[in-house]
Chains A and B, each alone.
Chain A
Amino acid sequence: MSSYHRPPSVAEALRLKRELPGSSFIAGGTDLLVQMKDRVRQPTALISIRHLSELTRIETDGGARLGAATPLSDLADDSALMTGWPILGEALRDFASVQIRGSATIGGNLCNGSPAADAAPALIVLGARVRIAGLDGERLLPVEQLFEAPGRTRVREEELLVSIELDPPLPSGHGVFLKKMRTAMDVSLASIASLALLRDGRLEEIRLAAGSVAPVPMRLHETEKVLRDRPLTPERIAEARRVARDEVRPITDIRAGADYRRHIVGVFVQRALEATLEKGDR
């Protein structure tokens, strides 16, 4: 049994959070309320933040700033955001259902700390940062460093993730790809996001991230190493596919076996790199 509070500002929300031990912030509630029904979490009080206009704005002015309590469908409907960072549209496509996308928020999806958070690999390769507010001020953290363990992030008990910040869209020539294996309503079995810049046949820049194949969404540093500053050839792609398979740390669960997930990661990495080759030099 939880009481309900609707603070008028982020500052007030943070004060309430300190005043009410055992309380929880609630935005879309699509994960938290299920966890409460399952008695996984039983907050003494719910502090609603979804009405705070400072948390539900999408600002695109050069870079982008996404209010943490913005519903996923509002992001998908924002044409400036989808034009500048189309990989986000790919990440949100087929996410759960229309009903869930209309309530679930981008900040909530990250704070829930799911290894399968669909937006995470895309945000990681884009180099996105989260802004975290506390009573003593704000700090910025790369999305890549946000996740600690399944269900746990580096947002501390008395802090609130307030926005996600993106650098300006990449100059032309960069190839950005996202592949995921999921159907609506289910959880992704594996997903890969990649960002690449091919110049004179060499991969000048390469960032790869994977979801659903480790305790947290992860950057594929080892795979990047075999690719960076080298010519992108079919042999190199085959090697990257092998390294990616070995680099991820998937589990076997009811949705898929670990071996199968490794296989899929390899295939997705190969496809992302082949797409980069096909797109060609800048």
Chain B
Amino acid sequence: MNQNNPIIEFSQIKKHYGEFAAVKGIDLTINSGELFGFLGPNGAGKTTMIRILTGIIKPTSGKVLIGGYDLFVEPERAKAQIGFVPDRPYLYEKLTPIEYFDFMGGLYNVNKDQVISKGEEMLKLFSLWDRRNELIESFSHGMKQKVAMSAAILHDPNIFVLDEPTVGLDPRSVKLAKDFFKSLIKKGKTVFLTTHTLSVAQDLCDRIAIIRNGEIAALGTMAELQKRASLPGNDLETVFLKITEEEQETFSHKPDEPVKK
């Protein structure tokens, strides 16, 4: 991890849906080569942040820099650096995986040879090569997730944004996926990952942010989080529950007071 080379920078990101504030002014920097875990309970604002990061939705205010490019000023350059795997792998069902790769490759301006070689490599890795000519509509959730993951790597992006990437995968595939994420880091790529499987986050992440009610409740390495929760030596699950419970208490008892960081 290169701490002096920020690759993703969120500045004062806010997202409001009418009266409801889903994200309340988040500042966050992720460095190049970092495997960053973004955790939080349901409805905390994780998916909203991911959608803002990938340009799917616009924040109400704030700025996002990706590799130095402002996502809202130079969206093409910023988005070209990201490979995104959504939490629910909705894909074009009437295409085969190979055709889907061709489509995604074209959107990211990748040459056909690269699409073919990367696609083949990934399908073989995920044991889908034999089914490359079948329509995606016949695939299970896990298989679609693997196709989405494979498509995200075609343009060799610097940043991988993975929203719940292990949901629906069998244990063998989870192991494969974890190894794959580690291999990306070895290649100097940056991974921004959300997951509810805390063991995956604990095993993989260099740093973790815990988001609750649209704000960062805790941020740091595993050791820093343990210290923050006053639970040295405990696993991430215990630390996560302590921090989110603390926050819940803060919010339920003293709504007007600022949250301690």
Say whether A and B bind each other. Answer: no
Interface residue ranges, B against A (CB under 8 Å): none
Chain A residues proximal to chain B, CB less than 8 Å: none
